[in-house]
Chains A and B, each alone.
Chain A
Amino acid sequence: MARLKFLCDTDRCIECNACATSCKNEHEVPWGMVRRRVVTINDGEPGERSIAVSCMHCTDAPCVAVCPVSTLYQTDIGVVLHDKDICIGCGYCFYACPFGAPQFPRATLFGTRGVMDKCTYCAGGPEENGSEAEFRKYGRNRIAEGKLPICAEVCSTRALLAGDGDVVGEIYRERVVARGFGSGAWGWKTAYYPEQDA
């Protein structure tokens, strides 16, 4: 079975934010929330790197484990989805997320954050695949059409890779061999292999 993952090649990301923008547009993500963003470290100094991050769709996902209701659930391709009709906006998933993925529309009002929103890996939600109701709540369902997330497919430098983890790893390793360097798959240990020692 395919196990879908995200990999951002920090040697290639140029902080163009096309992933964040196209995601926000594709899914019509409301104001105040963003499902994917670009983080830059050592900005303006030697060793500056940028990396695009969103929900990583973790193995043994901590957000699913801490959800006090049953909003979050995982699918057999690894994608973690959420049910907006059940969410109570408690914010536990945000505290448990190693990548700061969950977003809340009103993060400042008396703890009533509103219903959580996060990256769906372009796989919609519990509503019928491709339905209008699904689009309004969760955005486009590209996976149902056999496509991969727009953020990766739109990436001009092919820094952001999405899809079957084995194929993604293979593409990355071929690339590292061809160019002779690579700083590794950032976040993969935390996201996908929480138990095994590296």
Chain B
Amino acid sequence: MSESVVVHGRDFVKYRIGGAIVAAVLALALVWQVYEIFNGDARTIPEVRWGATVYDGTAVGSQDEASSSLLASQALAERTRFQAERYQTGPSPSAEQPDYSVVPDIYMTTSPMAFGEEFTESWARFSEGTGAMLHAPQRIIGISSLPYPGATIFERPVARDWRLGMADIATHLGALAILGMGFLLALMLAIRGRVPIAHGRSTRTVQRFGLLERTTHWMTSVSFIGLALTGLVIAFGKTLIMPFGEEALGAVGWIATWGHIMFFPPFALGILVMAVMWTGRNLPERRDLHWLRVAGGFFSDGGPSPPAKKFNAGQKLVFWSAVLGGLLMVASGVTLMFPFYWANLDTLSWAMLAHAVAGLLLIAIFVAHIYIGSVGMQGAFWAMWTGRVDHNWAKEHHALWLVQIEARNGKDPT
């Protein structure tokens, strides 16, 4: 069989050079992402400094930063004292009238500041006296006379865990998954080249996907890419768009928020049609295990390509991630689109976290799908574009399906 191999993956030299370049870039991105996990910037630190000046009748006096901060601090601390018991600070018939103008004509100013880490660190430590008066953290939900969503909440310590899950785990996990998947694929392209049509192009083509199948596929894929890009702006905008300015991030973020909603209906419809159209052909079979064991024969040009029906095990996995993942995304997304209609704050929090994690993993999975359907495999793209595939391609990847098709055409030669 291997003598008849006329096209080798390693012959796609330009593709392999491209793959090598992309792999190198993604390797750098991965290193940077790993550094981001450990660089310890997950804590919130103050960015703005308060200072104070005293109006002296003609102009606002100027002071150096340190004494200005100290004056602001002192004014606020002294003002705080007024809230002590009335016999101490009045107003009370038995006490002296206090002088409320602690620092007369004070005017506080704000300016950007650096080195906020020490503030957060010192705030997080408490003295013995403070430690003794702390009430144990616990979930406290009561009643409220105010009719607002969430008005009955006093304390939900679990929210700090949500922050950990969202800002520290989901974001980094997603970046690692997407960059890692891209890196592995690019590396595969560089080393192995494309998966070729080993016996070369034939002169015949076979109808593989009908118009409805292709329309559904492209509607779903375009809306998925739209959802993915807008979602990525929300997940990683602080890293990717912030360098262009906070205002730019706000504007792009706003477009992303709206766009995310706009792309949802065609995506949901596509997932639904796909589920109806393809579930029957994607049910697992015994031969799928064999296909997976030899990784579809993708790593050798002339090796045994495991026979498959219309969909092989890899395609079935992609189908089920699209359908099950898509349903999870749609269900959690719709819940988030109608806050407090049927879900309370805790359900919404879980829906948001599930939406973020599943979305990022789906993007990583579909990066692989897009790769194998375009640059990764010779001839694969035309199955979804024109609907017709090369006869040799079909023989090499979907032997059983080709037999079925030809048997049917044999009965009805048109």
Residues of A within 8 A of B (CB): 1-4, 15, 17, 20, 32-34, 37-43, 51, 53, 58-62, 64-71, 73-78, 81, 83, 85-92, 94-100, 103, 107-108, 110-113, 129, 143-148, 152-153, 158, 161-169, 171-176, 178, 182-190, 192-196, 198
Asked if residues A39 and B125 are in contact (CB atoms below 8 Å), the reply is no
Assess whether B77 is in contact with A164, with CB atoms less than 8 Å apart: yes
> Chain B 374-412, CB within 8 Å of chain A: the 1/0 string?
000000000000000000000000000000000000000
Chain B residues closer than 8 Å to A158, beta-carbon distance? 83, 85-86
Please name all residues of chain A whose beta carbon is closer than 8 Å to the beta carbon of B49 when the two chains form the complex: 75-76
- Report if A190-B123 is in contact (Cβ < 8 Å); known contacts: A38-B144, A39-B143, A75-B110: no
Residues of chain A within 8 A (CB-CB) of B291 are none
Interface string of B52-91 (1 = CB under 8 A from A): 1000000000000000011011111101111111100000
B246 within 8 A of A: yes
Contact B250 A88 (CB under 8 A): yes
What residues of chain B have their CB less than 8 Å away from a CB belonging to chain A? 42-50, 52, 69-70, 72-77, 79-86, 102-103, 106-110, 113, 116, 119-120, 123-126, 129-131, 133-137, 140-146, 148-160, 162-163, 166-167, 234-235, 237-238, 242, 246-247, 249-250, 253-254, 256-258, 261, 336-341, 345, 348-349, 352
Q: Which residues of chain A have C-beta atoms less than 8 A from B340's C-beta? A: 107-108
Please give, as numbers and ranges, the residues of chain B lying within 8 Å of A111 by CB-CB distance.
261, 336-339
Residues of chain A within 8 A of B341, CB atoms compared? 108
Residues of A close to B74: CB separation below 8 A = 2
| Known A189-B137, A196-B126; 9 more pairs at CB < 8 Å | A2-B76, A34-B146, A73-B47, A88-B254, A95-B166, A111-B338, A164-B80, A173-B129, A194-B160
Q: In the bound complex, how far is the Cα of B252 from the Cα of A68, in angstroms?
A: 11
Establish whether residues A143 and B163, one from each chain, have CB atoms under 8 Å apart when the complex forms.
Answer: no
Whole-angstrom distance between the Cβ of A187 and the nearest chain B Cβ:
5
Measured between alpha carbons, how far is A177 from B170 in the docked complex, in Å? 47
Contact (A190, B130) CB under 8 Å given A39-B142, A168-B80: no
The CA of A148 and the CA of B149, in the complex, are separated in Å by 27
Q: Taking the nearest CB of chain B, how far is it from the CB of A155, in angstroms?
A: 8
Closest beta carbon of chain B to A15's beta carbon, Å: 8
How many angstroms from the CA of A152 to the CA of B70 in the assembled complex? Answer: 23
CB B174 to nearest CB in A, in angstroms, measures: 13
List, in ascending order, chain A residues with CB within 8 A of B140's CB.
39, 41, 186
Q: Which residues of A contact B234 (CB under 8 A)?
A: 68, 88, 90
Most chain A Cβ neighbours within 10 Å, of B123, B152, B234:
B123
Q: Which of B124, B133, B156, B345 has the most CB of A within 10 A?
A: B133
Q: B142 and A143: CB pair below 8 A?
A: no
* Chain A residue with the shortest CB-CB distance to B168: A65
A75 to B109 CA separation, bound complex (whole angstroms): 12
27 residue pairs bridging A and B, Cβ less than 8 Å apart: A3-B123, A4-B76, A17-B146, A39-B151, A41-B140, A51-B142, A53-B153, A59-B120, A60-B123, A65-B163, A65-B167, A86-B246, A108-B338, A110-B337, A112-B258, A129-B107, A143-B76, A147-B79, A148-B83, A153-B82, A163-B77, A164-B76, A165-B130, A186-B154, A188-B133, A188-B135, A192-B123
